[in-house]
Amino acid sequence: MQTRRDWLRSSIGIGGLILAPPSILSAKEKLNFQPRSIDSIIRLSSNENPYGPSKRVQERIKNSFVHGCRYPYAYSDELAEQLAKKHGVSPESIIVTGGSTEGLKITGLTFASKGGEIISGQPTFLAMMNYAKQWGATINWVPVGEDKGYDLDEIEKRITSKTKLIFLCNPNNPTGTLVPAKRLVDFCDAASKETIVFSDEAYYDFIETPNYPSLVDAVKRGDNVIVSKTFSKVYGMAGLRVGYLIAKPDLAAQIRKNIVAMSNVLAIEAAKEALQDDSFYQFSLNKNREAKARIYKLLDHLNLDYVTSHTNFIFFHSKKDIRELGPAMLKKGVRIGRPFPPFYDWCRVSSGTLEEVDIFIKGMLEVYGA
C-alpha cells in the first residue's frame, strides 16, 4: 500500500498541483529552523507556524534553564525595554503577557466588566469577548460585509456612552481580511475620541501591502488605542506563550493591575533572541507565501472562492458544511479549522509546511472527487 510520503515522492500530483521536490528544505534550513516531522495527523487548524523555534532560540532557551529558579519580573522588564525600542515607545507602554490571548482577556476585563459594552465584528477571534462576558460585559456584534471584512461604518454608528471597547483583529481571524489603510487611520482617529480601540495585530508581520500602518502609531500620538502583538505566529513560539500589549502609560497602568499569568523566564529569553533572528523571520514569511500560493492553486482548480489572505491561513468557500468537511478531512489525516458561525460552508486552513500542504491537497482532491 502506498504511503502518503511515498505518494509525495513519486508523483507531482493531480493536475500538476503538487510542485514540491522530494527534498523541501536544504540541510542548513533543516538544521537552523527545525521543521516538524510529518505527524500522523497534520495540524492545519490553529494558524501555528510549523517551523521553529529556530536553532538560535532553542539554544537561548537551553542556556536560560539556570535562571529557572528566578521569578520572571526582571527578565520581563528587560524584554519590555527591547520591545519599547523596537516600536519607539516608552517601556511603561509595554505589557508582556502569557501569550497575546492573556492580553486580550485582561483588557476586556479591565474596561468592559460589569455591564460595559464591546463592539466587535463577526466572525473574529473571540478570546476577549468570551472572557469579558463572564465578568458581565455585553457584546454588540456587527456582521462582516460581503467582502468578509469589517463594516467600520456600522461599527462607528453603534458607538454610545456604554461602549468601552471596540475590538479589531486586523488582519482578521478567521477571514484573513485587512482594513484599507486610510480607512483604518480615519476610523481610529474618530473612534478613539469616543472610546478605546483595541487592535489585535497577531498577523501583522504577514501583511505585504507596502507601508501598511500599525496602530502603534496611534499609541505614540497618545490616542485611546491598545495594540496586541504575539511571538506565536511568525516567530514560531505558540507553545511558549509570550505576547505583549502596547498602550499609552495611563491605559497600560490600568491593565497591568489585572495581569494574572505573565510569561516565564524561558519564554521571555526566547522572545529576546527571536527578535534578533532575522534569518528565521524572513524564512517563515517566505515559506508561508509559498504554501499559500499552493493552496490558492488548489482552490482555483476546485473552483472554490476564497479571500485573498494577509495572514498565515486562508478562508475559503468550501461549498460543504464545515461540520462534515472537517471529519472527512480528518479521515485523510488533516485537521482543518473549526466552524465559524454563521459561515458554516466556509473553511479556514493554516498554511503549514510545503509537505503538509501537499498532503492537504491530496486529501481535498479525494474528498471533492477532483
Encode pLDDT of 103-129 as tens digits: 999 999 999 999 999 999 999 999 999
Q: How many CB atoms lie within 10 A of CB 132?
A: 28
97 plus 169 within the same structural domain: yes
Which of these three, 274, 295, 326, is where a domain ends? 274
Which of these three, 246, 274, 302, is where a domain ends? 274
155 plus 235 within the same structural domain: yes
239 plus 315 within the same structural domain: no
219 plus 311 within the same structural domain: no
> What pLDDT shows up at residue 21?
52
Label residue 251 by pLDDT band (50, 70, 90): very high
Label residue 13 by pLDDT band (50, 70, 90): low
pLDDT at residue 8 tops 50: no
Bond prior to 249 in cis (omega within 30° of 0): no
Structural contact between residues 159 and 119, judged by C-beta atoms closer than 8 angstroms: yes
Number of domains in the chain: 2
The per-residue pLDDT for range 139-176, each reduced to its tens digit, is 999 999 999 999 999 999 999 999 999 999 999 999 99
Q: How many CB atoms lie within 10 A of CB 297?
A: 16
77 plus 92 within the same structural domain: yes
Mean pLDDT of 291-304: 96
264 plus 339 within the same structural domain: no
Q: How many CB atoms lie within 10 A of CB 342?
A: 10
Q: How many CB atoms lie within 10 A of CB 186?
A: 13
pTM here?
0.92
263 plus 121 within the same structural domain: yes
188 plus 309 within the same structural domain: no
Mean pLDDT of 182-187: 97
pLDDT at residue 11 tops 80: no
CATH number of the structural domain spanning residue 8: 3.90.1150.10
69 plus 26 within the same structural domain: no
78 plus 180 within the same structural domain: yes
251 plus 305 within the same structural domain: no
DSSP run (H or E) holding 84: helix 73-87
d(CA 301, CA 362): 13
The per-residue pLDDT for range 188-214, each reduced to its tens digit, is 999 999 999 999 999 999 999 999 999
Range of 219's domain? 57-274
239 plus 166 within the same structural domain: yes
d(CA 102, CA 142): 24
